[in-house]
Amino acid sequence: MKLPAFLNFITFLFTFAIGFSQQKEIQIKVHHVSNNVYMLVGQGGNIAISAGEDGVFMIDDQFARLTPKILKAIKTVSEKDIRFLLNTHWHGDHTGGNKNMEKEGAVIIAHENVRKRMSTDQFQKRRNRTIKAAPKGALPIVTFTKDLNFHFNGESIYAFHVHNAHTDGDAMVYFGSSNVLHMGDTYFQGKYPYIDLDSGGSAQGYIDAIKKALLIIDDETKIIPGHRNLSFKTELKEYLAMLEEIKINILTEINAGKTEEEVANNIKLTQKFDDLKYGDWFISGEAIRRTFYRSLKK
């Protein structure tokens, strides 16, 4: 083995070892957001709970293997039962614990398309893999198409659907008195969004979803994104401006007859935002240019 190859191999082993130890040591951190509302961060989508006299209302549940840790974390806030679990969309890093939560007695709720997608095998072109249908106990048993209200823990908890954004089954949840909005994966704070075109997501729908969120919130609202850090209105407005600028840039290329490869290779189209580190994760500048191209070309 030549020296550079050997060094690469050592780096690989080291990265693998770190990845493995992180996997073993995932902690569920509980952050108080406002009034009864808490955000739980572990691995996968951010969880929100409302904990009060009526019990626990929960949004998303990460992965099945984390359920014991998540339940322990919830217990530090409330001894009461988990009455409701709402899924913001069907992806496994938000619904993986469903079956366990159903066993805990939670009633699982989601948009109708979440149940539809979880009920059958789903092929994801991007990753070239099939995700098996979820077992019966993991499926939402209450579904809605537009919106619904919970009157729980002294406030109104309003869940509403946004069309073809991150997927075709996204819901946001607004805690009225606490003034907290959970946006699910219609918001990846500080990074380019993953828009799941194979699951009915779209660039325009993603932009429209954020516009809808902005109509509901005010300067004091605390925003829980699907992934990453707690956020607020001015930051979400900047995020929207970023997406709209990229949309215009890509549309101009499409109208000029450019191919997907030309757009994928033209770093200038997202350079300004790449420099702000939006692409420093699994959705790179190239990935977001391709996503917008494919979505807007239709």
Binding interface with Zn ion (CB under 5 A): 91, 185
Q: How far is CA 7 from the centre of its chain?
A: 36
Of 2 and 129, which CB lies nearer to Zn ion in the complex structure?
129
Given the complex with Zn ion, which of 91 and 99 has the nearer CB atom?
91
Residue 60 vs 253, nearer CB to Zn ion: 60
**Judged by CB, which is closer to Zn ion: 91, or 117?**
91
Backbone angles phi, psi at 141, to 5 degrees: -100, -15
Nearer to Zn ion, 51 or 203 (CB): 203
Q: Point out which residues pair with 231 in neighbouring strands.
A: 223
Q: In angstroms, give the least distance from the CB of 91 to Zn ion.
A: 4
Enumerate residues 6+ apart whose C-beta is below 8 A from 81.
55, 56, 104, 105
C-alpha 102/C-alpha 240 separation (Å) is 36
CB of 236 to Zn ion, least distance (A): 18
Minimum distance from CB of 197 to Zn ion (Å)? 13
Which residue bears the tokens 């075109």?
197
Whole-number minimum distance, CB 185 to Zn ion, in Å? 4
Q: 58: burial class by Cβ within 10 Å (0-12, 13-18, 19+)?
A: buried
Upper half-sphere CA count for residue 104 (Cβ side, 13 Å): 27
User: Rounded to the nearest 5°, which phi and psi values hold at 137?
Assistant: -60, -15
Which residue carries 């979880």 as its tokens? 118
Query: By C-beta, is 203 or 269 nearer to Zn ion?
Result: 203
Count of CB atoms within 10 A of residue 217's CB? 18
Min dist CB 249 to Zn ion, Å, is: 25
The DSSP bridge pattern shows strands 155-161 and 147-152 to be: antiparallel
CB 10 to Zn ion: min, Å = 34
